[in-house]
Chain A
Amino acid sequence: MSPRIVEVRRNVLAKNDALAARLRRTFAAAGTCVISLVASPGAGKTALLAETLRSLRSRRRAAAVVGDLATENDAARLRESGAPVRQITTGTVCHLDAEMVGRALEGWDLASLDCLFIENVGNLVCPAAYDLGEDVRAVLLSVTEGEDKPLKYPVIFNGADLAVITKTDLIGPAGYDEALARRYLDAVRPGLEVLRVSAKTGEGMPAWLARVEAALVQKRTAGLRA
């Protein structure tokens, strides 16, 4: 007898999406703004985050969770800012998912936080598919990686809310063509907001921090309206 077709039409990532939606409700209830950082390994996620946490310390209550396959190195580095930080070690998994983030947040009083940063595993491919319940997903591309990262890894750039060009202090030595990089970004995601920073020299940090602040205020305002 011929096989029978059973129509299903269900999202394979439904479980992650449901967990992410639950996280989003929790963050909304707590009024916590959540910003995730995705980038390739070595793009400067931790350096930018360390500077961000340090700058926010005096005026905002910020915390971070950071994902890596192994080691607590990034968490240790970020804790120097004085902010609460938790490390997620994924073992072999190449991305964070909503369940890992939810588990990492257990026992944290989110209402006491204005802002939570999630640093994803260094990877420009896999994190794209997994919603973490964040308000803003920022994708970082460093000048040392070359201009054409957006063309090579379009999916992650396409799904981001914001792109941040990092290590701008190396533009000269690397012979980086920033205008070209911006054209490539615009090709894969027309109109994408682009910032530029050097965590080392502080160039561009005020604009980045203003963007973080804007996201935070927007979240707070939305919470008050709800």
Chain B
Amino acid sequence: MHELSLAMSLVDLAAGCAREAAGAGTGGGRVEAVHVRIGALTGVDGDALRFAFDAASDGTPLAGARLVVEHVPVAVFCGGCGAERTLDEPFRLRCPVCGAPAARVVRGREIELAALEVSEIVSAHR
């Protein structure tokens, strides 16, 4: 449900980054794709986010861009083992090796704009 709010924030952020990239001379063309990283603990559904992104980007410079979602599994730091562990089942926050409660979530909470794919400027302006 909140994927639409997230998609609107994402479109704002990505459009801003595309403008910055254009200003810095590292982009400036059309945004072909938007890459995001979504942690398993965020409760964000990839398909719903893609659907919302298409709606939210309509009429913006990002219209027509693909949304590429990378799912980030949950990783915790286990104090008992002194090691980082990736969880197969994201919502049982215990070390999969020793069973101790996970001291700290290292990854899996991110909702991150990772990268933009920008097409080269076709008509050079210099």
Contact = CB atoms under 8 A, between A and B. Distances in A.
Given A4-B118, A6-B27, A11 B93 contact: no
B115 A6 contact: yes
B61 interface: no
Given A1-B120, A190-B93, A12 B33 contact: no
Dominant secondary structure at the A interface: mixed
Interface in A121-149: 123, 125-126, 128-130
Contacts, number: 110
A12 B36 contact: yes
Determine which residue in A6, A7, A95 has the highest number of CB atoms from chain B within 10 A of its CB, and name it. A6
Contacts of A191: 101
Contacts of A129: 2, 6, 42-44, 111
B13 interface: yes
B9 A13 contact: yes
Interface residues of B, number: 40
Given A95-B2, A129-B2, A188-B93, A4 B113 contact: no
Given A13-B9, A125-B2, A8 B115 contact: yes
A157 B29 CA distance: 43
Interface of A: 1, 3-16, 93-95, 97, 123, 125-126, 128-130, 151, 154-156, 158-159, 187-191
